[in-house]
Structure 1
Amino acid sequence: MTRASVERYEIEAFLTLAEELHFGRTAERLRVSTAHISKTIKKMERQVGVPLFERTSRKVALTPVGSLLREQLRPAYDQVQQSVQNAKDVGRGIRGVLRVGYFSSAGGRFMLEVSETFHARYPDCTVQIRELQLSDGAFRLRGGGVDLQICGFPMEEPDMTIGPALYREAKMLAVPARHPFARRPSLSLEDLAHVKMVQNPPELPAYFDEFHHPRRTPSGRPIEPGPTAATFPEILALVGAGKGVYLTTEQATQFYLRPDVNYVPVLDAPPLEFGLGWLTTGHTHRIQAFVQAANDTRDALTGR
C-alpha cells in the first residue's frame, strides 16, 4: 500500500472503526451509511492484501495487521489534524478556551499570575484554571480534561512535552506536632530510617515517587512505608494523627498550616521543580503562547 493510495476519509474511517469496533456507531460518528464504511474498509483491505478486521455476527475485532496499522497511523493522523488546527489558530489569532491544570495552592497562585499576563496579551482567549489531585497524575491531560498542566520534575512520559522549570521549592518533612522531630531545627534524609513514610497514590509515576519519596536513605537503610493517601489534605490528616511523616515542600508552611502538624527543613533532599507539560500531539499556538507567558512571569518574579 503506497501513501498515495490511501485517502484521508479512508484513514478516518479505519481509525474510527478501530476505536468503536462497530460499523453502525462508526457510520453515525462520520455521518455516512454503514454500507459506505464497509465498502471503505474492504477497499483498504484489498490495498493491504490482508484483513484488517475480524467480523462475526457478534463482534468486530482488529486483526494483528489491523492493530499494527492503527498504532502507526494514529499518531501521524492526530499530528496532521493538530497541524490543521494550528493553522486555523494562526489565521484567527489566539482565541478560544485554554484549560490549565495545577496541583497545590502555590501552583494555583502562580497559574493565576501567568493567566493575567496571558490575558493581557490575548484578551480573546479565556483561561480556565482547574485544580488537580495527586491521584489524577496525567489522567486529566490524557483524557482531555485539561490542555496543559503543572508537572513536578522529573517528568519523563513518552507522550508528553515538558517545558522548562518555572519555580522550585525546598523540601520539608511534615511530622506530627508531638513527634521528637518537630523540635529539631532541621533534618537529613538519613533521619527517615526512624519513621514511617505516608505513601503517595499509586497513580504517580514510580520514577517520580522514588526520586522524591525514596524507599531507602542515602546510606541504604530502609524507610518503612506507612498508609497511602490520595490527596494532600488526606496526607496531612494521617500525619497529624501520628500515622507517619511526609516529604513535602516549603509551600506547606504558607498554605497548609495545622495545629497537629509541624514542618521541618530536610537540608540534603533535592528541591522539587515545577514546569508545564502537555501532550505532544496536542500542541497548539494557544499552548505555545501560554508557555511563553509562564516563562515571562517567572523571569519577572525572579528578576531575570
Structure 2
Amino acid sequence: MLERLEMEAFLRLAEELHFGRTAERLHVTTGRVSQLIKKLERRVGAPLFERTNRSVRLTPLGHQLHDGIRPAYEEIQAAFARAVSTTRATVDVLRVGFMGAAAGQIAHRAGDMLPGREPGWRVRIREVQLFNALERLRDGEVDTLILALPVDEPDIVVGPVLFSEARMLAVPESHALARRDSVTMEDLADVALVRVVGARPGAWLSDLWPERTPQGRAIAPGPEIETFMEALQVVASGTGAVIVGEQVTRFYARPGIAYVPLTGTPRLDRAIVWLRSYNSPALRPFVATALDAARLLHPRQGPDPDRR
C-alpha cells in the first residue's frame, strides 16, 4: 500500500523535478525526500526518476505512476477538504500530543480551559511515545506536542518552556549506585543506558543516552526500547538504566527501581512544539493557555515565555 508521505513526496518531486524545492514544499529535509523516494522505488522495483548532477526527470514508469495516482490523490484531497469544512461549521479541534505524566496534566488542564477562552474550539489530547513522537507531528496526527527539549529540527518551531525539572538516573534497586545520595555524569560509565530504537547521535533526546562521559569514558549501550514504560521495565529487570526527569518520583514509583539525583547537568525543559507550516488561529491562544495551566500546576517554577 502506498503511504501518504511517499505519495506526496513523489507527486511534489514530479512537479518540481528538484529535491530542494520539494523539501521546502513538504517542510522536511532534502534527505527525507530522498529517503521516501528510494523507499518507494524499492517497493515498485524500478527507478521512478533519472537523477544526474544537473537534473531530475521522471522515467517512463514514473510518468505512468504519476498519471495513475494524481487524479485519485486530488479526489482524496477534495473529499478531505469537504469533510473539514463540514466539521468546522460547528467546532474546530486542536489535537495536542504529550509525552510524560506531568506534560499530560498540563495538556488536559489547558484543554479544559481553552473552550472558555476560544469558543468554537475544543482540544483532543493524545499520548505519544518516545520512538514516534516527532513522526506523529509530521504525519499530521497531532497539531502540537508537549515534550522534552532540546528539539533542533528545521521544520519544527520550539515554543515557550512550560516547566523544567532536575535530571535523575533510574537504576535497578540492586545496583551499587542505588545506594548513593547522588551521581554524576562520570558514574554513567558504570551502567548500560537504555536507548530508543533507531536513535542516532545528535537526534532528539540523544542527550539522554550519551556515548561517553565528560572525561571520555565509554558508556555501554543498553537495550533498545520504544516507550517509556518499556524503559522502566528494562530498569526494573536489572538490565539497564535511564536518565529521567524528577517527575518520575511522583508518577512512576515502582518496585525494583531507584531514582538517584544526577548532579552537574542542566535541567530537563518541557515545551510546546509545532510544525513551522502549521498556522491554526487556535495555536497562540492554546500556547498562552498552556502557560497558564503550567503556572497553576507548577507555581514555584514560574515558566518564562521568552525562554527558548
The question of a shared fold, defined as TM-score above 0.5 by the shorter chain, is answered with yes
Q: Percent identity?
A: 36
In structure 1, runs of 5+ residues without a counterpart are 1-14, 23-50, 63-87
1:154 aligns to 2:154 (yes or no): no
State the distance in 2 between where 1:284 and 1:277 align: 13
State the distance in 2 between where 1:189 and 1:256 align: 23
* 1:203 shift after superposition: 5.3
* Residues 207-262 of structure 1, C-alpha deviations (whole Å, 9 max, x = no match): 43342321111111111111111111111111111111111111111111111111
* Residues 150-171 of structure 1, C-alpha deviations (whole Å, 9 max, x = no match): 1311111101111011111111
* 1:184 shift after superposition: 1.2
Q: Which residue of 1 aligns with 2:162?
A: 166
1:278 aligns to 2:274 (yes or no): yes
Q: Which residue of 1 aligns with 2:63?
A: 60
Q: Write the mapping of 1:1-304 to structure 2, written as runs, cut at 5 A.
A: 18-19=11-12, 54=58, 56=60, 58-60=61-63, 95-202=91-198, 206-300=202-296, 301-302=298-299, 304=302
Q: Secondary structure at the match of 2:97?
A: strand
Structure (1/2) with the larger helix percentage:
1
* 1:21 shift after superposition: 6.4
Q: Secondary structure at the match of 1:193?
A: helix
* 1:274 shift after superposition: 0.9
- Across the two proteins, how many residue pairs are aligned to each other? 234
Q: Secondary structure at the match of 1:278?
A: strand
State the distance in 2 between where 1:260 and 1:197 align: 16
What is the root-mean-square deviation in Å for CA atoms of aligned residues? 3.1
8 Å contact from structure 1 (residues 95, 122) kept in 2: no
Change (3 A) 1:215 1:204: closer
Change (3 A) 1:189 1:55: closer
State the distance in 2 between where 1:270 and 1:125 align: 37
* Aligned-partner residue type, residue 102 of structure 1: F
Q: Secondary structure at the match of 2:161?
A: strand
8 Å contact from structure 2 (residues 194, 209) kept in 1: no
* 1:55 shift after superposition: 6.6
* 1:119 shift after superposition: 2.2
State the distance in 2 between where 1:153 and 1:55 align: 43
* Residues 90-128 of structure 1, C-alpha deviations (whole Å, 9 max, x = no match): xx9995000000001111111111222212212321100
8 Å contact from structure 1 (residues 94, 122) kept in 2: no
Q: Secondary structure at the match of 2:283?
A: helix
State the distance in 2 between where 1:94 and 1:279 align: 25
8 Å contact from structure 2 (residues 148, 205) kept in 1: no
